Amino acid sequence: MTSEPSRRPPAAWLPHPRLALLLAVLWLLLQNRFTVGGLLIGLVLGVVVAHATRSFWPQRPHIRAWGKVFAYLLRVFRDILVANLVVARLILFRPAARLEPCWIVVPLDLQWPEAIAVFAGTITLTPGTVSCDLSADRRSLLVHCLDAPDPEAMVRVLKERYEAPLKEIFE
Amino acid sequence: MIETLGELVVSLLIVAGSGFTLVGSIGLVKLPDLMTRLHAPTKATTAGVGGVLLASMIHVVVRSGEVSAHELLIALFLFLTAPISAHFLAKAYLHLHRERERNFPPACHGRDWTLLDEPGEELPREDRPQPPPRV
């Protein structure tokens, strides 16, 4: 873990406080109602699970701009809807032989593993593109497109619409 | 009045959601190979399931006035797992057909795709990617 003078080092029993809190909230949502007992069990679960899985999260993802997280989510939801309509039209009205599927390589500016994971997940969730592999040096992403007559424009769109805001959020 | 309106919205959402799921299944049948077919299920889980879940939430609110959180959780878990399973399917396929599917472009910097590594081959420690230092 990198040492930062401005931030307290994480307590050994609570390596990821936000993860623990998130798990507690998830537990309450699973119960579908709020009770004090439920909250306590959720908090205990959150602390235990976060502690048990700490070796998978050697570092804490650092989110710089929370306001931009919501803007990003809204944009992704909108794009999922629009892209669904586009792909539905492709499937229904375009003969399979006239689709232009292709591979594209997205050079990555993002360096944090968490940010790359969110970027790759976003690419897969927006229909029409599936992220398939990462290069061994984590600097390029292999993406399959269902129909991309202009692969370079596709790379540009992905980088501008998703990678740029993620870079502001994470780095 | 509110109830009729609610039922109308719920029905519309169910029809839209199942429509997207149907289109996803049609795509699964119609598209020619695994890589293009992979695009169909990612669509069914996003718009299709999303529509039905939204309908379910609205239905519960209109019927009993309570807010149900389970649908949010289902959506969250689906949105977390769908890209991962799609990624695994694509990787498994590419590993199985490495020779036939070698038409993808090379990576743009020094090291190539992890797909092309030999099994058991491990990067020397100094070559492993390191996260940048915090600023």
Q: Please state the domain extents for chain A.
A: 1-60, 66-170
B73 and A92 within 8 Å at the Cβ level: the answer is no
User: Interhelix angle for A113-125 vs B70-96, to 10°?
Assistant: 90
The Cα–Cα gap between A70 and B57 comes to 21
Which of 60-119 (A) contact B at CB < 8 A? 62, 80-81, 84, 87-88, 91-92, 96-97, 99, 101, 103-105, 107, 111-113
Tokens of A28: 């309450």
- Mean of pLDDT values over B111-123: 68
Q: B105, A105: Cβ pair inside 8 Å?
A: yes
Sign of the CA dihedral running A93, A96, A99, A103: positive
What is the pLDDT averaged over residues B121-135? 60
Which of A60-69, A128-137, B101-110, B115-124 has the highest average model confidence (pLDDT)?
Answer: A128-137
B110·A132 Cβ contact <8 A: no
pLDDT at residue A4 tops 90: no
State the residue for tokens 């699970």: A49
pLDDT at A6: 46
Per-residue model confidence (pLDDT) at position B118: 67
Mutate to test the interface with B, among A106, A112, A124 (most CBs of B within 10 A): A124
CA distance A13 to chain B (A): 23
CB pair distance less than 8 Å for A136 and B113: yes
What percent of chain B is predicted at pLDDT more than 70? 80
Average pLDDT over all residues of chain B? 81
Is the pLDDT at A3 greater than 50? The verdict is no
Residue B82 has pLDDT above 70, yes or no: yes
Predicted ipTM? 0.80
Q: What pLDDT score does B33 carry? A: 83
8 Å CB contact between A92 and B26: yes
Nearest to B42 among A4, A130, A171 (CB): A130
Residue A10 contacts B where some CB pair is shorter than 8 Å: no
Residue A21's Cβ-side half-sphere holds a number of Cα atoms within 13 Å equal to 3
Q: What is the CATH number of domain A66-170?
A: 3.30.70
